Every structure is written in structure tokens, then in C-alpha cells.
Amino acid sequence: MTGSEYGINLEKHETKDVHDQHVNGNLTVIWRDWDNIIKNNPKMVYVSSINPKEVKGPHIHTKRESHFVCIEGKVVFVIKNDDGVYQEIISSDEKPVMIYVPKNTPSAHLNLSNKISRVLALADIAWKPNDNEMKNISFDDYDWEKWKK
């Protein structure tokens, strides 16, 4: 864990060339059925892109639990807990952290990169266009500008 109830550090392994064994990249484990990291098996997996320095959210999903991990770029996830305290967790392609957002938990994410960032999402309920289970809210007392400097 990351020290937060919302963040899970992920396994990252180097991959090697089959001929001379030089490192040719890496592999990050997001989910395995036997890890038991995700309690409700995903019913939908998707990738969301975020333009540089832009914010997605804040909003609340009233029916679904989600797990997110940044797979390209660098993103900060801002989660407001039941006590009104904000948790900030950074996930990036360099240091992947999976973020858990329970249903009815306000959250947003901000792209810290100067390029498009991509976030892989795993949700326990598949989205349908007419679900109306997402409610937009605001984090009026949160300082977004500190990340945009």
C-alpha cells in the first residue's frame, strides 16, 4: 500500500530480449484473479485520456467502484474522504500506483504532464449511456493551482 487507503503500489518487472537478455522494456501487473487486490472482479476496462494540466471531475459514482492506474504520463488523484479530508495520490508510467475509489466517494484527477496522460480504469459495473449514476460536484475548498505551477 502507499500509506493511503486508496493507493496500491503495483509490481513492475523488467522484460528482456530473447536473444541477448538486454532489458527491452517492462511489464506492470495491474490485476490477476488470484491477487485478491480487487474485491469485485472488473466488469468493464477502459482507457481515459487527459489533456495536459486538465482536471477530470470531481464527481461521484453512486453505483460503481473503480480502480485507476496511470499508464502514460503522470496524474494526481484527489479523493475526498468521509471526514472531508483530501487524499492526493500520484500515479505515473514511471511509478504506477493503482487508485481505489469506492462508490459514493468524491474524486478527480489532474494531468501533471505537459503531454496527454492515459489512465487505465477497471470498474465493477459496466457503464451504459443512460445510467445516470455519475454526479458532478465541486471541490471549492481545494487548491488546484498548486499542481499547475
What mean pLDDT do residues 120-148 have? 91
Confidence class for position 94, pLDDT limits 50, 70, 90: very high
Domains of the chain from N-terminus onward = 7-147 (2.60.120.10)
Give the separation between CA 22 and CA 129, rounded to whole angstroms. 46
Arithmetic mean of pLDDT over the chain: 91
Question: Does the pLDDT of residue 1 top 50, yes or no?
Answer: no
Give the separation between CA 59 and CA 57, rounded to whole angstroms. 5
Residue 99 to residues 14, 18, 53, 132: CA-CA distances in angstroms? 22, 33, 19, 23
Residue with the bigger pLDDT between 40 and 80: it is 80
N-terminal to C-terminal alpha carbon distance within the chain: 28
Grid cell digits, residue 70? 496511470
Looking at the chain, the whole-number percentage of residues with pLDDT higher than 90 is 68
Helix (H, G, I), strand (E, B) or coil at 19: coil
Question: What backbone phi and psi angles, to 5 degrees, belong to 144?
Answer: -70, -30
Question: What does the pLDDT look like over 3-60, one tens digit per residue?
Answer: 567 888 888 888 888 889 999 988 888 888 888 778 888 999 999 999 999 999 999 9
Neighbour-count burial of 117, counting CB atoms closer than 10 A to its CB (0-12 exposed, 13-18 middle, 19+ buried): buried
Instruction: Give one word for 119, left, alpha or beta, with left for phi > 0 and alpha for psi -120 to 50.
Output: beta
